[in-house]
Structure 1
């Protein structure tokens, strides 16, 4: 089966390549070979390649930067997914697309379910929500997978930043009032491979929108503390961690205080369940990937 994977060097794309390479005829298109801001270029590539499955792991993920460049964020996160959905529908093939907890405002006291009304706080969340709706409007077979707090050993993310800063500074202040589930990109890639296998094996659940995060919950401070614990076990000398409220760390884009996503629907419909975030972090740090 020929699979077209959009995105090449992002942390999720790199994990998907590791999970899918060798199982399928994987065609990877990064920004050097495909400008996702160019709708006609997207159409041309899809029509030439004629994939049997499209996976969109490309996105504008710089949350604060999106506030000052909304056109770029909407081009990649909204318009490009819509074009991909159109082309997938015309070929009659499924599209797998990844979205985010940032489509919610974080004011709900409980984990969000798929049917909760979105209310993004910034441009990034608005653009990702527009991408979801563009895909849904086409009506073709698709999976939109909302995830949260993605990290890996590749690219730029909270894990790698904390590993560096913990060893460079004497004291490190980390936000403690934003709650969510740190989710390893490797876990998302493994789940994606399982979803594809279920579909190929005739065991697919309904197409549509699902939440996909690690089990459990913590704050950014709790996540940083777990990262520090792993480094301390290696005998490293580390910074002192200090918990602070979001108000003490202002950013251009406001973050939701509650990023917890209820993943019950995906487990029920597709029998997919990610590991607890502690276990996934340990696997990430010891993985040969």
Structure 2
């Protein structure tokens, strides 16, 4: 992995933590308490500090935005905050990066799609978010693209169903429920691609190394997720297998039987064709990655 001078906004979250841990060179990975992406002055100062550090270290600077208001259900009642972080934050970062001449890699989500399809979404498919979270993330994508029209070197990477050793996630929830319940029901009519944060971090770092050089991908919108797909029910059974528990303790149910405040896409598998065409390394199949995650971070995932 190439040495970079890296600013990771949202650096204390699931993905940000792995980006900081796996990067080489100069890394500054502030959490939201240290860098509020909704504050344009703070963002500008952080990017300026990155440029100064890059110059001192003799390394090319890159910003990776992993900051997000990711509480999908809470966003339904906190729309203003969700848009502040997920839409205004990327705008401020893109503007600061344009002014400083620093490339930006912005992380987005499968929730920008409606889920009303039966084939993997391509980057040129029309979005149609059904939740506040999805709409706010789509607004963030569009903000980055607008600034790119004025010359910013910016790339948007959509991903999905993240889990890793840091923060809360589905894998940790299933591990807790395995201890607490004899049986549990998990929805079997939502399909996506589980994505191990370490694998995504490596992919984003590979992209970051490319965007500072002469062979930066021409495609500014990319998809990167774990390979293959499954349902939440299938994912839960796989987690039970990794825990050494009987997967038949997990039973399928429908979304209607497990209502949530925010609607979820029924199908949100993302095609990585553009990622591969850009010459970037595809992420591992989700099942292989899950086994590796437990081998790497079993105690953290088990809780």
Question: Which TM-score band (shorter chain)?
Answer: over 0.9
Q: Which residue of 2 aligns with 1:9?
A: 12
Q: Distance in 2 between matches of 1:46 and 1:203?
A: 23
Pairwise CA distance, 1:207 = 4.6
Q: Which residue of 1 aligns with 2:48?
A: 47
Q: Which of 192, 204, 217 is matched with 2:204 structurally?
A: 192
Q: Distance in 2 between matches of 1:199 and 1:130?
A: 23
Q: Which residue of 1 aligns with 2:32?
A: 31
Q: Distance in 1 between matches of 2:11 and 2:220?
A: 25
**Structure 2: which 5+ runs fail to align?**
55-60, 299-303
Q: Which residue of 2 aligns with 1:99?
A: 108
**What SS class does the counterpart of residue 32 from structure 1 fall into?**
coil
Deviation string, structure 1 residues 86-133 (Cα, Å, up to 9, x no partner): 111111111011000000000012111011111100100000000000
Q: How does 1:64-213 map to 2 (within 5 A)?
A: 64-139=73-148, 140-200=152-212, 202-213=214-225
Q: Which of 230, 234, 238 is matched with 1:222 structurally?
A: 234
Q: With structure 1 as the length reference, what TM-score do the two structures score?
A: 0.94
**Structure 1: which 5+ runs fail to align?**
none
Pairwise CA distance, 1:48 = 3.8
Pairwise CA distance, 1:141 = 1.0
Q: Distance in 2 between matches of 1:39 and 1:199?
A: 24
* Residues 103, 211 of structure 2: 8 Å contact kept: no
CA RMSD of aligned residues (A): 1.7
Q: Distance in 1 between matches of 2:247 and 2:288?
A: 22
Q: Which of 61, 82, 106 is matched with 2:70 structurally?
A: 61
Q: Distance in 2 between matches of 1:172 and 1:141?
A: 47
Q: Distance in 2 between matches of 1:249 and 1:126?
A: 23
* Residues 141, 207 of structure 1: 8 Å contact kept: no
Distance 1:174 1:181, change over 3 A: same
Q: Distance in 2 between matches of 1:68 and 1:261?
A: 28
* Residues 86, 138 of structure 1: 8 Å contact kept: yes
Q: Distance in 2 between matches of 1:272 and 1:206?
A: 16
Distance 1:197 1:38, change over 3 A: closer
* Residues 237, 248 of structure 2: 8 Å contact kept: no
Q: With structure 2 as the length reference, what TM-score do the two structures score?
A: 0.89
Pairwise CA distance, 1:202 = 3.9
Pairwise CA distance, 1:46 = 2.1
Q: Distance in 1 between matches of 2:64 and 2:217?
A: 18
* Residues 168, 239 of structure 1: 8 Å contact kept: no
Q: Number of residues paired by the alignment?
A: 284
Q: Distance in 2 between matches of 1:100 and 1:84?
A: 18
Q: Distance in 1 between matches of 2:88 and 2:159?
A: 20
